[in-house]
Structure 1
Amino acid sequence: MDFYSINSLRENHAGWSLLRAQNAPLALTFFMAAFTGPNQRNLGRQELIDVLDDVLFGLRDSEGGDRFPRPAGEYLDDWAADDRQWLRKYYVSGEDEPHYDLTAAAEDVVRWVENLRGRDFVATQSRLTSIFAVLKQLVQQSETDPEVRLAELQRQRDGIDAEMQRIRDGNIRVMTGPEALDHFQQLTALARDLLSDFREVEQNFRKLDRQVREQIATWDGSQGELLESIFDNQQDISSSLQGRTFQGFWDYLMSPQLRTELQDLLQRATRIEALANAESLNALANLHQDWLPAVEQTQATVRQLSQQMRRLLDDKVFLENKRIMQLIRHIESGALGTREAPPSGAFMEIDAPSVDVVLPFERPLYEPSRKVLVDDAVETADDADVDASALFGQFFVDKERLQANIDAILAGTEQATLAEVTAAYPLSQGLAEVVAYYQLATESDWATINPEQSQRLSWQLPDGSIREATIEQIIFGRPA
């Protein structure tokens, strides 16, 4: 980031404006008491007013009655205004009372202020362990050599066998108190960061929907082109990295087996003796229950955006039908006016009705169909005159080999085009191999076919001649 981008954030970012506000301590205290402290979302206006009144009552009692003179409702309206955007104000279907939720920018500021007070115990060992675990998984799952993968799995198996033997011998190593506290602090920090990410994901979905609705409002093309553009945008949302990782988290959380395993691990973690005096230990058992409402709200936001888009399209269709009816009524009124006062001269000419006359003798007589005699004698061919080499000249395109070529290229980069893949692994089976690459791209969730760009592929025939093909650009991406 340069000076100008930082200065733009200082002038326009909602989080920066919260830090610069005069009532920032009051707002942050209220946000912690209402949202981040109890981990709540989507609170009604009256409930928030009650919480803010309690905060204001305590501050006025200690700071003086004239310290914060405005009522709680005015503070809420001010913090949810467009120039603040610290709170998101919206209405729930079927309710007249507005609801409020903390924005992603405001929550980032709350987390940052909480970290400013410092910590008596900073988790370092658990972070290093997490880095090694993630790094090992990244390297091992990206390895394409089967021998290396098997050697790594064998090493892990030997380590597990050795650990099992030590346990059988009575040598059981238990995590020490500092180590347990270290991992517990790392766990709670990751859980808080994950909950704060949901608000940002929801905000990004809402931003994409706003762009689509602006496109609908200003569209001047045909209805079919508009629908195609909307479906492409929805596909971009679901196939983006954020959409795919969020859907993967949702599928993981909705798995009954994995959810039961997670709940069992959380319950066992609360019974660890070294964590008996740790803060927020009881909240650890309900960690997955805090995730479910947040993820469900994000899913509900996506469904609500789809419903709003449907209503926008229905409104556009209604307006078009209304215009058609107005044109029909205008034509009908013009016809009635012309009937009352027809113009002079020939107004309209039409062909007079007539009857097609066909004489009986002009009709052809019946003619029976002719029978065709077919000679069905079968002659035995001489095998010596038949060239059977064409039956054995077929070949098989191994798609697993082509997928291995793609994975090998993506091991060193985030994405690669088909031209780059074929440059490293030349085409050996001609056009059939290109078609196989096409099939892999259409079946993969991590590949994109760009019809607006083209790429040229070439291969060499057995006789030494060169063949070239110009196709649409195919981009393969590394799976998350």
Structure 2
Amino acid sequence: MTSSRSETAYQRAAAAFRNPTLDLLHGRYAPFVVTALSLVFTVDRPAVAVADAHVEVGEIADELRGAGYDEGERRVPAGGGRDICRYWVRVGWLVPQIEDAQEVYRLSAQAVGALEIAGRTGGGRARVSRSRVRTLLDSVDQLTQDAETDPNVRIARLTAERAEIDAEIDRLMRGEVEPVDDEQLLEEAENVLHLSRELPADFSRVAESIQAMQRDVVAELRRDIRPTGDVLREYLHRGQHIMQQTPEGRAFVGALGLIGDPEHIDQLTVQVHDLLAQPFSRLLAADQRGELHAIAKRVEQGVADVLTAQRRASHVVTAQVRTHDPVRDREVDELLREVMSGMQTWMSSSRAADRVEPLRSLPAAGIGHLRQTLSDPRPPRTPEPLALGDADAEFLDADTRDWGGPMYDELEAYVSALDGAFDLGDAFTGASNRRPVDLVGLLEIAHRNGMTDGGDVSIVEALRPDGTRRRFAFGSVTARTVKDADDD
């Protein structure tokens, strides 16, 4: 029985020491890690650009090495800032994220907790104070009240509290004010600081739990082979209610009613400002005054980080669902597995100096000439030429002929009957066919036989088959008859 209890306790302790928080504090370079993280990441600067973090961590390491903190127990890790930060990412102390199209580092919840433990252990007095005991008693009393289901008991407790409040009001109205000792106020301020130091780690744990939920949802979605409609309904619901999917998220939703209201944050800021103006605040150290002044900002930043993580997770899950393609995802997974298998095979037989020539372009497929059409749309032979001036051609409808093109036969016969050169405008006026198209045909015949442009303007009136008239103006033309053209 004793062995089993000991073994269980040992396994629990071993699991605790595998937590990144204790690993950070117990590690070989723990003092340097705590120093660098506390200098780079502050309340006013929770996120740091990756390039800036590499430079700053490298400068801190160089300064400590130059001061002799690289020998014996005072150790500084080897390498530059980039190598150190990449190791911290690998062990879970830093979390890389994309914010505003820029890659940044944020402290993980474990790193925030480790810094809080180190700061509390090395910077303050750990003592049993009246304020801490009162905080515990108030918490137990509040828990008891919340758990009570008997209305009579609740009424009796509230009546007693009201009697105490009325008695306190009466004493104050009589001028019986008992000032609180500065030492007691200092203890209570230290208790407030102690409670506030735990908030960043709590907020970080909520944000990381949401991110872990997001990764699980996306991983399950990639493995899902159900119909897209079922997947869409389920995962969109989970994406919209992702805050309720984790214990930390549900706890944060309950606390958000107290700290998420901007009016509460403003009230907290005013209260802290008033406290710093009290005489007892002079007993606080400079760093304690700074922490007390930054409480409201720390709470506001923590709420913003959690809500940002929630929006990002919902966006990622929703986008993944919209682009969900099980067949494509399986193809990508198979391709990645083939690549990893090929890499392992190559690594087992390669040497350190071997190089792999990268594939700079995809090879072209030799497919030859593809058939472009199923049949040749061209006719087997050209059509017969149209016969010009076919005397046997007849129109089915006289009206169709009236609205057709120029009557070349009649126009040529009319021009041939004229004597010598003639004015085209006068010739059109004396013709029997005076449609607009016949004017065009007469101009064509004159151009074919030879014509001379004049400097005047000829105006003629054409008559359409429906009886409407139109006037046309053109440069005067003197034409020759067909007989004159043949003589030339």
Q: Does the 8 A contact of 2:113 with 2:198 survive in 1?
A: no
SS at match of 1:22: coil
Pick the aligned partner of 1:26 from 4, 21, 32.
32
Q: 1:5 to 1:130 in 2, by over 3 A?
A: closer
Deviations 1:238-279 (A, max 9, x none): 265432331233333343443343233222211221122302
Paired residue for 1:252?
258
Structure 1: gaps (5+ residues): 324-335, 341-480
Amino acid at match of 2:165: I
| TM superposition shift of 1:123 | 4.8
Paired residue for 1:70?
79
Amino acid at match of 2:86: D
Pick the aligned partner of 1:87 from 90, 94, 113.
94
Pick the aligned partner of 1:225 from 221, 227, 230.
230
Counterpart mapping for 1:94-133 below 5 A: 94-95=101-102, 98-117=103-122, 119-120=124-125, 122-133=127-138
| TM superposition shift of 1:159 | 1.0
Deviations 1:19-63 (A, max 9, x none): 45332222121011122x545311112322343244223312221
Paired residue for 2:64?
59
Give the Cα separation in 2 of the matches to 1:212 and 1:310: 10
Deviations 1:334-356 (A, max 9, x none): xx99x89xxxxxxxxxxxxxxxx
Q: Does the 8 A contact of 1:107 with 1:196 survive in 2?
A: yes
Give the Cα separation in 1 of the matches to 2:124 and 2:25: 22
2:249 pairs with 1:243? yes
Give the Cα separation in 2 of the matches to 1:101 and 1:192: 17
Paired residue for 2:400?
none
Paired residue for 1:271?
277
Pick the aligned partner of 1:202 from 207, 212, 222.
207
Amino acid at match of 1:160: I
Give the Cα separation in 2 of the matches to 1:112 and 1:257: 31
Q: Does the 8 A contact of 1:60 with 1:68 survive in 2?
A: no
2:17 pairs with 1:7? no
Give the Cα separation in 1 of the matches to 2:161 and 2:310: 42
Deviations 1:105-139 (A, max 9, x none): 22222223334437446252111111222222222
Counterpart mapping for 1:313-328 below 5 A: 313-317=321-325
Q: 1:6 to 1:140 in 2, by over 3 A?
A: closer
Amino acid at match of 2:97: Y
Q: 1:154 to 1:109 in 2, by over 3 A?
A: same
Give the Cα separation in 2 of the matches to 1:193 and 1:228: 38
Choose 1 or 2 for highest CA Rg. 2
TM-score, scaled relative to structure 2:
0.59
Q: Does the 8 A contact of 1:123 with 1:182 survive in 2?
A: no
SS at match of 1:40: coil
Give the Cα separation in 1 of the matches to 2:280 and 2:32: 37
Structure 2: gaps (5+ residues): 1-7, 332-370, 376-488
Q: Does the 8 A contact of 2:148 with 2:154 survive in 1?
A: yes
TM-score, scaled relative to structure 1:
0.60
| TM superposition shift of 1:160 | 1.3
SS at match of 2:95: strand
SS at match of 2:207: helix
| TM superposition shift of 1:176 | 0.7
Counterpart mapping for 1:260-299 below 5 A: 260-279=266-285, 280-299=288-307
Pick the aligned partner of 2:146 from 138, 141, 147.
141
Q: State percent identity of aligned pairs.
A: 18
Q: Does the 8 A contact of 1:80 with 1:88 survive in 2?
A: yes
Amino acid at match of 1:294: G
Give the Cα separation in 1 of the matches to 2:96 and 2:115: 19
Q: Does the 8 A contact of 2:77 with 2:84 survive in 1?
A: no
Give the Cα separation in 2 of the matches to 1:73 and 1:102: 16
More moved, 176-185 vs 265-274? 265-274
Deviations 1:176-219 (A, max 9, x none): 11210111011011111012111111111111111111111100
